[in-house]
Amino acid sequence: MVWNEEKQTGAPEEIVRQLWLNKLQKTFNYPLARIEVEKSISFGREVHEKAADVVVYKEDKETPQIVLEVKNPEAKDGLEQVKSYLNAQGAPIGVLSNGITKVILYRRYPDQFENTLREIPRVDQTIEDVLQEELTLDQLETKYDLVRIIKVLEELVLAGAGVDSFNEIFKLIYAKLYDEKYARDREGKLLFRQSAEPRVTYDNMNRLFEKAKEEWPGMFLSGEVIELSPSHLSVCIGELEKVKLLNADLEIIDRAFEYLLPDVAKGKRGQYFTPRHVIDMAVKMLNPKKDEFIIDPASGSGGFLIHAMQWVWDQHMENLSKETKIEYARSHLYGIDFDDKPVKISRALMLIAGDGRSHIFRLNSLSPKEWQGEDTEKEKARSELRPRLYKFGSYDKDNENEENFRYFNFDVLLTNPPFAGEIIDRTVLNNFELAKNDKGKLRNKMERHILFVERALSLIKPGGRLAIVLPQGVLNNTNMQYIREFLFEKARILAVVGLHVNTFKPHTGTKTSVLFLQKWAEKEEPPKDYVIFMAVSKKSGKDNSGDYVYKKDENGEIAFDTKGGKILDHDLDEIADKFIEFAKKEGFSFWR
């Protein structure tokens, strides 16, 4: 395979083909006499105008065994073209490769592509030999595109399987994580792999899934099983078994989960994955430290928490052991979200980061009264959140707070609350100052994100700091003046960063800002005047359609960073750097 480490790109098609020809001979030991290039494909009486790139024949040198097509696997017709070639040629194995990745189709019967293979057979192997070969932890790929793998699975089986793709992929990911976690106890041997018979694969995967449910209770219902049919499941395992998930690059997994979550569900709740460069800006500006507790009360897939964790690891724990870093992650990061699927995602990301335990709870942040109850999830949440309650030093106040779970002592809060929807439940509204007018009368309804502003301030301790993404109207509209007065009373406004209108496209074109606050310390007298850092982003890293825009080098080619990733064309890093200069000049405690 051809891989440019610096530019993360594949080689031109002809070079890829030549390397495959070399690999077929040197690695798989096929003699040149059994290999043909540019083989015209016959469909009945017709000869297809497009020739297959490479065909490998069986020993009789007449019966096709492998058809290789060099093409971009993300092209919609890529897999379909390989399938058509296999049917026309009668070959059992088809390979689609672009020099970066490969998909190997296994056609057991005409028009039935029941399997994918992790590798093609050597000249002395049968397909059954490949399926029965042991797979070990050290053989797994660490560089891969999980979104591409999921797209391949959708095209092959998931789109027509009649199941929830998110749930089924999620079950398989947890089964695989369990297998990888305990592989060392089996000398690295993996159980998450295809067997020759789909039914055997199905039984093995359900056993692993049951073990995963026991290992990480609360992620799945006790009666949940893998709903994919044995043949569909076998295809999925054939693709997923090749890659390593435990301790993987979290960006790879995060992008895949974002892809899997249906856009309809995200839009309906006004929830959208926060672009990672927005998260990075907010984390960088607030500079969380290794001894500080962090919370996101609308944590979604855990983006803010994961990036805050990475920041602390890189900036403040660089020379500490992996065990110390994992202990920080399990003890200092907290997330709350009302939606089941994002909660599953954030828990999975924390698990992939290296630890199965996390403080991620499925709760309604705006209504802590709903946290009461005897079900396991709520009891666990109350138990783990109780040590983070703010202590007033008054028996009555502390006792009331233990009942209501209203005031906490988190050091840092980062969040992007849902914008959609209004709260009309008076029992919820009654807990918020902002839900009352200047005469103390309860308003009939409140927009959800406004209540999140007040809730965010109640979650951090005096002197704590926060960043929250809000519609720009909260800071500009005349009818929102009472909110701005509330903010000035409760906290110092550190900064306001206006985001470009394209930032959240294609999901929404709402103009948004990131508001940075520091809660006034106890007995601190707010100054009458102070300087606020203001900035407006001119480059969002996206175009008007919501597609990412990347920086170009001096030759007009896409620029890459030191890790080989494409560099987004945005200005939020520069804004964060300017804020840090400002913060140091102003003497902010978290940037001294």
CB contact at 8 A, 387 and 359: no
Considering the domain architecture, whether residues 86 and 182 belong to the same structural domain is answered as no
Considering the domain architecture, whether residues 317 and 343 belong to the same structural domain is answered as yes
Q: Please state the rounded mean pLDDT for residues 5-15.
A: 59
User: Looking at the domain assignment, is residue 397 inside a domain?
Assistant: yes
Considering the domain architecture, whether residues 91 and 164 belong to the same structural domain is answered as no
Q: Please state the rounded mean pLDDT for residues 496-502.
A: 94
User: Looking at the domain assignment, is residue 447 inside a domain?
Assistant: yes
Radius of gyration of the chain from its Cα atoms, rounded to whole angstroms: 27
Considering the domain architecture, whether residues 490 and 432 belong to the same structural domain is answered as yes
User: Looking at the domain assignment, is residue 529 inside a domain?
Assistant: yes
Does 11 or 591 have the greater pLDDT score? 591
For the chain, give the percent of residues with pLDDT over 90. Answer: 43
Considering the domain architecture, whether residues 374 and 523 belong to the same structural domain is answered as yes
Considering the domain architecture, whether residues 166 and 88 belong to the same structural domain is answered as no
- For residue 93, give the nearest of 73, 67, 126, 122 by alpha carbon: 67
User: Looking at the domain assignment, is residue 512 inside a domain?
Assistant: yes
The two structure tokens encoding residue 384? 């783990």
Q: Please state the rounded mean pLDDT for residues 391-395.
A: 93
Considering the domain architecture, whether residues 290 and 376 belong to the same structural domain is answered as yes
User: Looking at the domain assignment, is residue 152 inside a domain?
Assistant: no
Band of residue 47 on the pLDDT scale cut at 50, 70, 90: low
Domain final residue pick, 133, 168, 202:
133
The CATH number covering residue 129 comes to 3.90.1570.30
Considering the domain architecture, whether residues 194 and 287 belong to the same structural domain is answered as no
Distance between CA atoms of 534 and 541, rounded to whole angstroms? 20
Question: Whole domain around residue 184: which residue ranges?
Answer: 135-145+157-260
Does 438 or 461 have the greater pLDDT score? 461
pLDDT at 264: 41
pLDDT in tens, 399-434: 999 999 999 999 999 999 988 788 999 999 999 999
User: Looking at the domain assignment, is residue 452 inside a domain?
Assistant: yes
User: Looking at the domain assignment, is residue 517 inside a domain?
Assistant: yes
Q: Which residues of 319-344 are buried (b: 16+ CB within 10 A; e: fewer)?
A: eeeeeebbebbbebbbbbbbbebbbb
Considering the domain architecture, whether residues 443 and 316 belong to the same structural domain is answered as yes
Distance between CA atoms of 131 and 193, rounded to whole angstroms? 8
pLDDT in tens, 439-491: 889 999 999 999 999 999 999 999 999 999 999 888 888 888 999 999 999 99
pLDDT in tens, 297-307: 999 888 899 89
Band of residue 87 on the pLDDT scale cut at 50, 70, 90: confident
pLDDT in tens, 168-195: 888 999 999 999 999 989 989 999 998 8
Domains in the chain, number:
3
Distances (CA, A) of 496 to 100, 358, 531: 42, 31, 11
Domain final residue pick, 133, 165, 182:
133
User: Looking at the domain assignment, is residue 476 inside a domain?
Assistant: yes
Band of residue 97 on the pLDDT scale cut at 50, 70, 90: confident
Considering the domain architecture, whether residues 164 and 19 belong to the same structural domain is answered as no
Residue 64, number of CB atoms within 10 A of its CB: 22
Considering the domain architecture, whether residues 224 and 340 belong to the same structural domain is answered as no
Q: What is the pTM of this model?
A: 0.79
Mean pLDDT rounded to a whole number for the chain: 86
The CATH number covering residue 510 comes to 3.40.50.150
Considering the domain architecture, whether residues 346 and 384 belong to the same structural domain is answered as yes
Band of residue 111 on the pLDDT scale cut at 50, 70, 90: low
